Structure 1
Amino acid sequence: MNSITSLTALEILDSRGWPTIKTTCTLADGTRASASIPSGRSTGAAEACELRDGDPARYRGKGCRQAVANVNTTLHEALRTTAFASQQELDQALIALDGSPNKQRLGANALLSVSIAFARAIAAQQKRPLHEYFSYLIREQAYQPTRFPRLTINLFSGGRHAGKQVAIQDVLIVPSAARSIDESLVMMNDIYHAAADRTFARYGMRLLTADEGGLAPPFEDSEAMLQAAVAAIESAGWQPGRDVHLALDIAASHFYRDGRYLLDDRRLSPLEMIDHLSDWCRRYPIVSLEDGLAEDDWQHWPLLQQALGEKILILGDDLLCTNPERIRRAIDSRACNGLLLKVNQIGTLSEAAAARSLAKAAGWQVTISVRSGETEDNWAADLAVGWAADQFKNGSITQSERLAKYNRLLEIEAQRPLPIVDWPLV
């Protein structure tokens, strides 16, 4: 049994300069650990509530003082001296203390900060790496991770991550020929700098980057992003479709209006949107589509899965929101074949683990993802290893909040040289 003696929280800034929350958990034996929580810009309507202050005079209403206060008072007072036999027991107590359907009373950001800080404290108490503790939580690997995830790395950004200069949100690089994390990052470095050189030559602009570190030149349309990605791969000396593939984050909810998809200068019906995505997949080396349709377009997701699901990953992000109820609905309707797992969409580690288990039981792939508003905290890298993620989506290879996770993966790989998972459909 592990007793919490203190919970203290602090408002800090994320990678976009907006507030988020950092919590420190102290156990009865004096073990202490902290965790910082990310925040998303492209958020699904069904995500757990991220509590913000709403004061327009401070951080334009996005302050987190109330969430901090909820940790320092409500959660500290309720949980101190309480002994917990497991992570699930602690997380169930957090959910009960909040008592609202979507964690709006205390805030999912407050609850998750306690959940992860407690996990890190227990791992430290047990003198285990955090990824081993995470592995134990899913009770599949007896503390021993067996592989690394395949990386999907941001190259170009549009949508809400880059001022909406084009409709789709991200074009990501999949170094599918790489046999290690180190080799994946070497390949990506070649491709990133080839893309940067071509961006300067084509647009005469310096390296302006988007929320997750991707390059964001003023492309004429979304397809120009795909063409530029393929050209960068070739310029770096790799063969598209053999050595390197593409993954797309469409984020279609953000350009869905009145039953139509406003894709750049096109106004497409759902069936036309599926045809358009299918055409891209025929002409470009695409292995994954994330949120190819809007989060509430349940009628047409099964048709997208039927059209492309045997060839590529059809990932649900806004559609699923790491929410077990929505995942069950998607499994029953055969709406997709992959879960994009973001822990802060649901609010506690145990609930995220349950979402992962549902997806894996259905035969789905699981991509663990960070958010656009990240911190230098690297726990997401340990989570991707410990939970045997099939893919890890962490943004580009620039900016310290991204590098903290990649560097943590390199550190784990140096200590434990495990194989990297093969891409399932390549």
Structure 2
Amino acid sequence: MAEGLEIIEVIGRRMLDSEGLPAVEAEVELENGARGRAMVALCEDSEDTDRVMEVLSECVLFEDASDQRGIDKLLEEGASSCGIRKCGGFLTAVSMAVSRAAAAGLGMPLYRYLGGTAPGRLPVPMMTMISGGRYGRNNSLDLESYMVVPVGAASFGEGAEKCMEVYQALKRLLTISGYQTGVGDDGGFVPDLRNSEEALEYIMEAMMLCGYEPGKDMCLAIGAGAESLFDEGTGFYQFKGESHMTGVPVERDRNDMIGFYIRLLDGYPVCAVFDGLAEADADGWGMLTKMLGNRAVFIGQHKNREPGCLKPGERDWACLADWDGVEENAAGISMCGAKSVTAAMEIADLAKRNGLKLAVSQGYGETEDPYAADFAAAVNADWIRAGAPCRSERTSKYNELLRIEEWMKVSI
């Protein structure tokens, strides 16, 4: 253990996320005085939150902060031994805070501490322009987000600037068309449009107003959020917003969904689709990738199991062993989905070893913590999807990447 990296204090706090819902923060202090903080939104509040914070805080006291794998193993074991099945994000927050404290204790930027000293590659931004689904504040669009992706930008900063230009042009265009320009939970505009095609048309027009050629200077990406559309009882994906706007019930089975994506790819320069089918539909993912994988990347979200759910004798990260990456051609990772820094790094490594592209993705609940930016830089992610260039919990990730880009130029 490097001198002074022993954890001497862990503090847990109840906080607020961007929607005014519960969040938790962990703050870690090391023997040499270095500190690290991390905040994570909770999917749901729990009466056990205070107990979780107390138990997990004690798990890592007096341990070596630079032993991230050991720290995360102790957190997992602590949750399991106490019968805590839902750790409410605090395990994730402690894991992140420990890595921040260790980086500070060693005098290193977090992205260098996580990813090594070799110069990395910054991700291309996928910025939300129009929101729907659970992000859309009850608007008519069923899919969660419609994004732009800069093509061939010389730097992250240049790519981010292009996205911001299109976002502002889209705002003016929607205003002229008589739509309100309030924003959804991930910062995208939330107009009541007839369908996905109309949303993509508006975004393409905004691109052209900025002087960008769709498909050449910028492409489109879709966050489908198909899991929330899927009805297990009927086996159909329910498009309730589109049904309301057209007056005709719209529901699609697996084949219809694949046909739907074919239509979108034929009509628009869509280069990526997140969560295109339900998570459990491995056969459907395989069909989707086989038929369209040469035209776009299909990104599934990969998660670690819930803390405390391990069976006796199971490996800590057993969820990684049964994923061989064949169902899609790109992997999406969020810190909350991975549950810990170690699991997130292992998922990223496994994706690379299977030849998959990598996207660091937003969560449904967000805070102003920019940890995802450092993580994306550390694992050389291909893209980062953090929402629109609007709302501070979204822009904090993009702003941190702008700082990292500056640090990289200085340190090379």
TM-score by length of 2: 0.88
Q: Is contact 2:65–2:102 with CA below 8 Å preserved after alignment?
A: no
Match of residue 89 from structure 1: 70
**Which stretch shifts more, 78-87 or 399-408?**
78-87
The 5 A counterparts of 1:24-423 are 24-39=27-42, 52-53=45-46, 66-71=48-53, 73-83=54-64, 86-99=67-80, 104-105=84-85, 107-135=87-115, 142-164=116-138, 165-205=140-180, 207-257=181-231, 258-263=234-239, 264-265=242-243, 266-317=250-301, 320-321=302-303, 329=322, 331=324, 334-417=326-409
Instruction: Please give the per-residue CA displacement for 1:226-253, whole angstroms capped at 9, x wherever unaligned.
Output: 1111111112211000000001011111
- 8 Å CA contact 1:51–1:67 kept in 2: the answer is no
Instruction: Give, in angstroms, the shift of residue 267 of structure 1.
Output: 1.9
Structure 2 vs 1, CA of residues 99 and 156 (structure 1 numbering), >3 Å: closer, same or farther?
Answer: same
Q: Give the corresponding residue for 2:314.
A: none
Query: Shift of residue 209 of structure 1?
Result: 0.3
8 Å Cα contact 1:251-1:290 kept in structure 2: yes
Cα offset for 1:85?
5.5
> Which SS does the other structure have where 1:389 is aligned?
coil
Structure 2 CA distance for partners of 1:267 and 1:330, relative to 1, 3 Å: farther
For the structure 1 residues 84 and 414, does the alpha-carbon distance in structure 2 shift closer, same or farther, using more than 3 Å as the test?
closer
| Aligned 8 A contact 2:7 2:30 in 1 | yes
Does structure 2 conserve the Cα–Cα contact (< 8 Å) formed by 1:330 and 1:336? Answer: no
Q: State the aligned residue count.
A: 385
CA deviation digits over 1:199-231, x for unaligned, max 9?
Answer: 1111342x2001111111111122211111111
Distance in structure 2 (CA, Å) of the matches to 1:191 and 1:104: 45
Structure 1 distance, partners of 2:320, 2:171, is 38
* 1:183 to partner: Cα distance: 0.9
Instruction: Supply the AA of the counterpart residue of 2:324.
Output: I
Report Cα offsets for 1:42-94 as digits up to 9, x if no partner: xxxxxxxx56226xxxxxxxxxxx334422x2123333223455110111111
Which residue number corresponds to residue 139 of structure 1?
A: none
2:20 aligned to which of 14, 17, 22:
17
Aligned-residue identity in percent: 27
Question: What amino acid maps onto 2:94 in structure 1?
Answer: V
Deviation of residue 186 (structure 1)?
Answer: 1.6
Alpha-carbon separation, structure 2, partners of 1:226 and 1:85:
46
Letter in 1 for 2:278: A
Contact 1:51 1:106 in 2 (8 A): no
> 2:108 & 2:191 partners in 1: Cα distance?
44
Letter in 1 for 2:128: N
Offset of 1:27 from its aligned partner?
Answer: 1.2
* 1:377-406 deviation digits (Å, cap 9, x = unpaired): 212111111111111111111111122221
Q: Secondary structure at the match of 1:335?
A: coil
Would you say the 8 A contact 2:65–2:98 is kept in 1? no
So what's the TM-score if we normalise by structure 1? Answer: 0.85
The answer to whether the 8 A contact 2:125-2:150 is kept is yes
Q: Unpaired runs of 5+ in structure 2? A: 244-249, 306-316
Shift of 1:338: 0.8
Coordinate RMSD, CA, aligned: 2.1
**Amino acid in structure 1 at the alignment position of 2:99:** A
**Distance (whole Å) between structure 1 residues aligned to residue 81 and residue 144 of structure 2:** 32
- Matched residues in 2 for 1:401 and 1:113: separation? 16
State the Cα distance separating 1:113 from its structure 2 match: 0.9
Answer yes or no: is the 8 Å Cα contact 1:23–1:36 preserved in 2: yes
Q: 1:372, CA displacement in angstroms?
A: 3.3
Question: Any conservation in 1 of the 2:65–2:99 contact (CA below 8 Å)?
Answer: no
Kept in 1, the 8 Å contact 2:188–2:388? The answer is yes
Asked if the contact 2:63/2:71 (under 8 Å) is kept, the reply is: no
Residue identity in the other structure for 2:389: I
Q: 5+ unaligned residues in a row in structure 1: which ranges?
A: 40-49, 55-65, 136-141, 419-426
